[in-house]
Chain A
């Protein structure tokens, strides 16, 4: 395709993305060892009148370059030993390069370029995003789970959330045990959030559309209702849910919940102790990093509680272009508080209350996807420790061109 050309006064400039590359003027590199007065004299021999930047040091003009170039053929910046010449003037020097004095003074020249602010990296990535299709949701494609021969068969996975729609046709048969830790409320999920998260771990296909959206449909679900139908809970109910999951020998615990952490805030020593106990008991706790960031407004919030504990795997959220989600918390706080890995978390299809389905966004969606991947790894190597499964998730992650403080090891990725 021919390049687009644009005529501007006195010059024709090649364009890329409507932005001209060259100004028409020239930059000339000066010999360091030649005195300024010699430069001026050699320029005169080439019929050029050069101003010195020193002459404009006290100028009131906001643009001394424009001022100097309107008064002379060029300007010499003495400190950096570079001259800028008006359009057409460099030829006066180039035509006299056979003169050794001139050639020794004016070393080489090149066109002066326009420079532009660098565009955000995310712009380019918008062209290569993942999308839902007939086979699966975009998140399943992104983590490459369709290539796996494992389903997490028989692996006990606990989902600590608002409960589950116990009558949902996609999930009913996968519920091994369930218990509520919310006084006065049954496990039945009247919120929808817990059902969505459980679907991302253990759902398989949309009943009618045959559309894959769950990561590990072979797992056994252990459902602990630790958040009320209003979506809130306390540390006490969550710790009770973890305790129950360990009693039931769950290999993975998925927690799409948390509270805000302040910049500089330490992690909970109680949760860290419990998470270490879980790892020692061969159970990996995976938690959502938090949704408090507003990156488009320049605000990145630290990873929340309890995902900020070093022994809990914190999961950030990615969008369909594999850019960090606007809301996803970042690894700001020292001593724990980092994001360990990232997964799809924007516009994610899964199950919902009342036998329904819907799309949701949040690090809540990313965490159960990683929990499902952990279940596939556990099935592939049942004797592997929880710490080993953690390491495999990190090692198999797809590296992203994003800060590790946002996405840790990168996109959770299935390689088995």
Chain B
């Protein structure tokens, strides 16, 4: 509920993100931590250490928790 109101009043929209972890062995733990922050986790790619999902009410900066090497907005791509 708190998260909902924060999201509503702050006017923040959920953002799709991609992130890569420092240590692939810990990817499940980090993904769980992001879930606990209100993120929706869509993919956990263990071979490459990538997590993708939606940020919920959080900013990208909030998602740069311990164990995340880099996080950035997910982009659209197209055939060239």
Contact = CB atoms under 8 A, between A and B. Distances in A.
Contact of B78 (A235, A247, A259, A306): A259
B39 interface: no
Contacts of A274: 20, 48-50
Interface stretch (A110-118, A148-156, A225-233): A225-233
A227 B79 CA distance: 7
Contacts of A306: 77
B74 A257 contact: no
B48 A236 contact: no
B71 to A, nearest CB: 8
Interface in A215-271: 227, 231-236, 238-240, 242-243, 246-247, 256-259, 268-270
B1 interface: no
Given A239-B50, A240-B43, A232 B77 contact: yes
Given A236-B16, A236-B18, A236-B52, A270 B76 contact: no
A246 B52 contact: no
A41 interface: no
A109 B52 CA distance: 76
Interface residues of A, number: 39
Name which of B47, B70, B74 has the most chain A CB atoms within 10 A of its CB: B47
Given A236-B18, A277-B48, A269 B76 contact: no
A191 interface: yes
A364 B80 contact: yes
Nearest to B21: A273
B66 to A, nearest CB: 17
Contacts of B49: 273-274, 277
Interface string B47-80: 1111010000000000000000111101111111
B70 to A, nearest CB: 4
A240 B80 CA distance: 19
A191 B79 contact: yes
Interface string B7-42: 000000000101110000000000000000000001
A304 B75 CA distance: 12
Interface of A: 161-162, 191, 193-194, 227, 231-236, 238-240, 242-243, 246-247, 256-259, 268-270, 273-274, 277-278, 288, 290-291, 304-306, 362-364
6 A-B pairs with the lowest CB-CB distances in the bound complex, closest first:
A269-B70, A236-B52, A243-B45, A231-B79, A364-B80, A288-B80
Given A259-B76, A363-B80, 4 more contacts: A235-B74, A246-B48, A270-B18, A364-B80
